[in-house]
Copies of this chain bind each other. A is one copy, B any other.
Amino acid sequence: MPAVEIIAIGNELLLGDVLDTNTHWLCRQFSGRGGRVQRVAIVPDEPGAIAEALEAARRRRPDLIVLTGGLGPTSDDKTLFSVAQALGRPLELNERALAMVQATYERLAAHGLVRDAALTEERRKMACLPRGAEPLHNPVGAAPGVLLREGETAVVCLPGVPAELKGIFATSLQPLLSELFGGRVFLERVLVTDCGDESLLAPVVNRVAADHPQVYVKSRAQAYSEGVRLRITLSLSGEDVQAVQAAIEAADRDLTASLAAVGIVVLERVEGG
């Protein structure tokens, strides 16, 4: 199962000014492709903090590290500078990235959204990438995404603006995603019970989890208009769709029967969470 780490960068996240929805969205995307996000770090716009988080992530040898935020034109956007420093690569003007930035400002100027398309120092900054980087076309904003290869790990930098992050993810990042995640599937099924007391449900869930070690079994309370109800999530990823389905079915049958034995009814099943 490909392992992923996410590093979200931005003082505004740590100040509580902005809720980081990018990480949640990315986690769903990677889980849905059969990947496993093993760690997330949220760090300030400080080269030391960014480099430390990148180093810590690399030591765990994931297949992919995604950094979000800090790619903009202002000097408080320090991601590429920090990544270059941490990886010991010089930061240099990338001609392909510059062409992308220029095309964006020409388009924006043609629509009257910026005053002119001149490549000022601030705009050129977005095209200064660590040596060896591949720029990723940004269909929404000006700052290109960045792809680097460090040994077996792909390092990807995406903008913090959600629409730009999603735009790159859905277009220029697809070849890397296919390379890393190939044909893996992820299945998830949620069982909604009539029980609101986790301590009653716990022994059953624990026994089923132990007997189906390949399936991830997790219970969680959720408020409904009728009161709190416990939901149990069964999930598994793998390369063989039929084997994954069969394992989920087996855990579901066992769980449902064991819950019934202590008087708990499964009210509803939801596929895909």
A residues at B contact (CB < 8 Å): 11-21, 23-32, 36-44, 49, 53, 56, 72-76, 105, 108, 113-115, 120-123, 142, 161, 188, 196-203, 205-206, 209, 216-221, 227, 233, 235, 273
Contact = CB atoms under 8 A, between A and B. Distances in A.
A37 B17 contact: no
22 contacts: A11-B216, A15-B28, A15-B31, A15-B37, A16-B27, A16-B32, A17-B188, A18-B24, A18-B220, A19-B21, A20-B20, A20-B23, A38-B44, A73-B198, A73-B202, A74-B202, A75-B202, A121-B203, A122-B199, A123-B199, A142-B199, A161-B221
A261 to B, nearest CB: 15
Contacts of A72: 198
A235 B15 contact: yes
A193 to B, nearest CB: 14
B38 A41 contact: no
B27 A15 contact: yes
Interface centre among A121, A123, A201, A218 (most CB of B within 10 A): A218
A221 B140 CA distance: 13
Given A27-B14, A74-B205, A218-B76, A113 B39 contact: no
B220 A12 contact: yes
B42 A40 contact: yes
A53 B12 CA distance: 22
Given A74-B205, A122-B199, A17 B221 contact: no
B31 A25 contact: no
A208 to B, nearest CB: 11
A235 B273 CA distance: 40
Contact of A16 (B28, B41, B196): B28
A174 to B, nearest CB: 19
B24 A19 contact: yes
A161 B198 CA distance: 13
A144 to B, nearest CB: 14
Given A16-B30, A161-B221, 20 more contacts: A12-B233, A13-B40, A14-B37, A14-B39, A16-B25, A16-B29, A20-B20, A38-B44, A39-B44, A39-B49, A41-B41, A56-B56, A74-B205, A74-B219, A108-B197, A113-B227, A114-B200, A120-B199, A121-B203, A122-B203
B13 A27 contact: yes
Contacts of A235: 15
A49 B56 CA distance: 12
